[in-house]
């Protein structure tokens, strides 16, 4: 990753953001592990959520290895630049963060379980960084498809923040909002750790478990 070279921690405004382009940077191929499409339309009954938890290489693997996840892809969201490139995102000039689009079967895995996996797989208290990866593109984020998901995400944040505070950790800095545009990253980023098993992976939680949900 370019994180040690590009360390912009200030978000650009819409007027300052890079202009981007009309054409996507990727001609979508089937998922290299799961074999399913990585772009819609998806089968009826599946749900979708977009999650940012640092470098998307390791983050995507967390979810494609999870039972009930139908497909995943990596891309950019939360900013302004249409169809941004990886280098543009790393420059800090797009406003995007690196994200994983997770498409899952709610009859097999619940949204709450997806959110628990999200919280426990990274440190959501670090602002514009994740471990040694520094920059706006590494900020923690949840972008939801609808208000029900948004409310569930906010409730899960409050529950996990209480656990973090109890453990002596800081407040959660995760951006949580309804999803707007999601732009696929370049092909070489898709399922990166399947294609490069020894590749860089920064994924790791902060050692605090999500609190048990009482019936």
Q: Which residues of the chain have pLDDT under 50?
A: 2-6, 215
Q: Quick one: how far is CA 150 from the chain centroid?
A: 15
Q: Is 178 helix (H, G, I), strand (E, B) or coil?
A: strand
From residue 35, alpha-carbon distances to 24, 69, 107, 160, 173 in Å are: 21, 12, 20, 33, 34
55 is catalytic: yes
Marked catalytic residue, from 55, 90, 201, 206: 55
- E strand map for the chain: 47-52, 69-77, 97-104, 129-130, 133-134, 141-144, 175-178, 182-184
pLDDT at position 171 is: 96
Residue whose tokens read 């923040």: 161
From residue 199, alpha-carbon distances to 129, 153, 155, 189, 195 in Å are: 20, 30, 34, 11, 9
Q: What span, in angstroms and rounded, lies between the C-alpha atoms of 78 and 98?
A: 9
pLDDT at position 10 is: 86
pLDDT at position 2 is: 46
From residue 29, alpha-carbon distances to 58, 72, 184, 194 in Å are: 20, 12, 11, 15
pLDDT at position 213 is: 67
Q: Where are the domains of the chain?
A: 47-195
Tens of pLDDT, residue by residue over 166-191, are 999 999 999 999 999 999 999 999 99
From residue 67, alpha-carbon distances to 107, 110, 141, 208 in Å are: 11, 11, 22, 23
Query: Is 47-195 a domain of CATH 3.30.1060.10?
Result: yes
């Amino acid at each position: 990753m370019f994180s040690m070279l590009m360390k912009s921690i200030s978000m650009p405004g819409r007027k300052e953001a890079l202009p981007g382009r009309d054409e996507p940077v990727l001609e979508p191929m089937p998922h290299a592990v799961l074999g399913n499409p990585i772009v819609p339309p998806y089968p009826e009954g599946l749900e979708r959520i977009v999650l940012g938890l640092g470098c998307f290489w390791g983050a995507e693997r967390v979810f494609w290895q999870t039972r009930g996840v139908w497909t995943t892809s990596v891309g950019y969201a939360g900013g302004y630049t249409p169809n941004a490139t990886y280098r543009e995102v790393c420059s800090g000039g797009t406003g995007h963060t690196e994200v994983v689009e997770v498409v899952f079967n709610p009859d097999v895995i619940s949204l709450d379980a997806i959110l628990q996996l999200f919280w426990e797989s990274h440190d959501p208290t670090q602002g514009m960084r994740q471990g040694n990866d520094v920059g706006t593109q590494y900020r923690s984020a949840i972008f939801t498809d609808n208000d029900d998901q948004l409310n569930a995400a906010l409730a899960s944040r409050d529950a996990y923040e209480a656990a973090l505070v109890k453990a002596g950790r800081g407040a959660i800095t995760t951006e949580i909002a309804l999803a707007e545009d999601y732009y696929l990253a370049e092909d070489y980023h898709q399922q990166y750790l399947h294609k490069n098993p020894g590749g860089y992976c920064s994924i790791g939680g902060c050692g605090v478990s999500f609190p048990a949900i009482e019936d």
